[in-house]
């Protein structure tokens, strides 16, 4: 059964480019503000637009002038989370060009109290970030995907803005891990790591053991030369098990692997997309309580929405 049977594409103008990049130079973040879809493009500076207080739930929405802060060369990914338990959002940035990861600790007003570097390795090609509870100590941890170093690195948070680390987890020679995500894939209450190995054209699932170590990767092939890049983990078919969607910009498809709750997945269900469908995000776009998937299509400057079936 095709869970996503209909799609619609939108061609955007050259002044409103929506997508993430064939090469890691941009980051696209999509969210819903009221009933509006917003897109933010991050370049070499971190730019934060602070919205005015809204009086209703509909568009338009306006923003105060942006705040910019230099964080390094070639930022490709950015995530926000509470990292030091002060109730203010903090930001983690991955810098591909210099192989670093930066944490900015927020003050709750759009400014930051301090900035620290948790990782700095020349030519590592830090490209992806995931934030979550890895060791179940209630403190947020950070996982980095280092594209050129072909590994993922875990930084365990102490709840006060400090981090410790262990040996990196290798993803295979020249595997080029570009994206990383966290989820309890096999329903054992331990957080597992999911990695996109771009050059190997596969998704690697690292199941966590009770002692905090990780098993050898379960591999989901995405097809030779398919160019998998960004992924999203959700329960797409509503069977209470985690599923994985991945955008593949070199064979112009989107693949969904349906999980069975044990750490294993079905063969991929594939959907033809527009050229260069690397980027994706997931949300409820037509208010039917069924997840929809949006891709950013690098090659033709369009976005495509796959509407979920009941």
Tell me the average pLDDT across 214-231: 97
Nearest to 48 by CA among 58, 57, 40: 40
> What pLDDT score does 309 carry?
85
The pLDDT of residue 4 is 66
Give the integer Cα–Cα distance in Å for 196 and 17: 24
Decide if 246 contacts 261 (C-beta within 8 A). no
Q: What is the pLDDT of residues 164-196, one digit of tens each?
A: 998 999 999 999 999 999 999 999 999 999 999
Task: With CA atoms as reference, report the closest residue to 70 among 94, 49, 47, 89.
Answer: 47
Q: What is the pLDDT of residues 38-78, one digit of tens each?
A: 343 334 455 555 566 555 556 666 766 677 888 999 999 99
Indicate yes or no: pTM above 0.85: no
Distance (Å) of CA 250 to CA 73, 116, 229: 26, 36, 10
List of residues 6+ apart from 53 with CB closer than 8 A: none
What is the rounded CA–CA span in Å between residue 234 and residue 148?
28
Give the residue from 285, 182, 280, 288 showing the smallest Cα distance to 238.
288
Q: What is the DSSP letter of 259?
A: B
CATH architecture of the domain formed by 1-15+175-310 = 6 Propeller (2.120)
DSSP β-ladder status, 269-272 and 112-120:
unpaired
User: How many Cα atoms within 13 Å fall on the side-chain side of residue 121?
Assistant: 17
**287 and 270 Cβ atoms separated by less than 8 Å:** no
How is the chain split into domains, by residue range? 1-15+175-310, 23-27+40-123+131-170
């Amino acid at each position: 059964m095709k869970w996503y049977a209909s799609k619609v594409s939108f061609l955007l103008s050259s002044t409103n480019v929506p997508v993430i990049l064939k090469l890691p130079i941009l980051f696209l973040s999509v969210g819903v503000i009221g009933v509006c879809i917003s897109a933010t493009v991050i370049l070499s500076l971190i730019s934060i637009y602070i919205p005015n207080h809204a009086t209703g739930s509909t568009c338009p929405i306006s923003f105060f002038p942006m705040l910019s802060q230099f964080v390094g060369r070639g930022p490709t990914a950015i995530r926000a989370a509470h990292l030091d338990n002060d109730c203010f959002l903090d930001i983690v940035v991955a810098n591909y060009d210099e192989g670093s990861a930066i944490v900015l600790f927020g003050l709750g007003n759009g400014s930051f109290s301090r900035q620290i570097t948790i990782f700095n390795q020349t030519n590592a090609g830090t490209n992806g970030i995931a934030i979550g509870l890895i060791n179940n100590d209630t403190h947020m941890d950070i996982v980095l995907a280092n594209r050129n170093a072909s590994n993922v690195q875990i930084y365990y948070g102490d709840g006060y803005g400090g981090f410790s680390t262990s040996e990196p987890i290798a993803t295979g020679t020249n595997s080029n891990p570009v994206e990383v995500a966290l989820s309890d894939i096999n329903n054992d209450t331990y957080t597992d790591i999911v990695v996109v190995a771009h050059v190997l054209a596969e998704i690697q699932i690292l199941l966590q053991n009770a002692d905090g170590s990780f098993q050898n990767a379960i591999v989901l092939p995405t097809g030779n030369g398919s160019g998998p890049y960004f992924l999203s983990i959700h329960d797409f078919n509503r069977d209470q098990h985690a599923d994985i969607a991945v955008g593949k910009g070199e064979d112009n498809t989107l693949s969904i692997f349906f999980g069975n709750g044990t750490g294993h997945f079905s063969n991929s269900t594939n959907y033809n997309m527009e050229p260069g469908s690397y980027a994706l995000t997931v949300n409820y776009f037509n208010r039917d309580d069924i997840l929809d998937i949006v891709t950013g299509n690098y090659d033709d400057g369009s976005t495509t929405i796959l509407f979920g079936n009941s």
